[in-house]
Amino acid sequence: MKFLEREEELICLYFNPMEELTDLQYLRLAKTFLNAYLRQTEIFRGESPSRYPSIEYTLAEMLSYIHDKCVRRWKIEIEKAEMKNEQLKKNEYLNISSIIPSMINFNASLLDFLESLSGVYV
């Protein structure tokens, strides 16, 4: 796609569910969308869209391309965040002092009890 790199990043930010845009970024985004839409209308009328050099495709093509590109990037980011959260939960669970020792003691006492029962019935 031939349009400015910062516009691509801006549109990626717009689609990102984890980030918030500033007012200035929303204005730049609106300008980018408007230029793409005007280019699209000129193409549909059969005119040559030479007034919008930063945007090569129509609005729908631009959004589809960027959305697909951004979604791939976010899936990786979200997977990394989920793995990190899972690891943190696992570490928290293992560091809880009251649950783990009591489970170990329960298992040890259960094994002792079962061994004593097996000695009675053998």
Write out pLDDT tens, residues 81-111: 889 988 888 777 666 665 555 565 666 667 7
CA distance linking residue 14 with residue 111, whole number of Å: 58
Least confident of 62-66, 77-81, 118-122: 118-122
The amino acid sitting at 56 is E
**Would you report the helix, strand and coil content of the chain in percent, each value rounded to 5?**
75, 0, 25
Q: Rounded mean pLDDT of 2-28? A: 69
- What does each C-alpha distance from 14 to 80, 87, 96, 98, 110 come to in angstroms? 21, 29, 40, 45, 57
Alpha helices in 45-98 (DSSP H): 59-95
More confident site: 27 or 107: 27
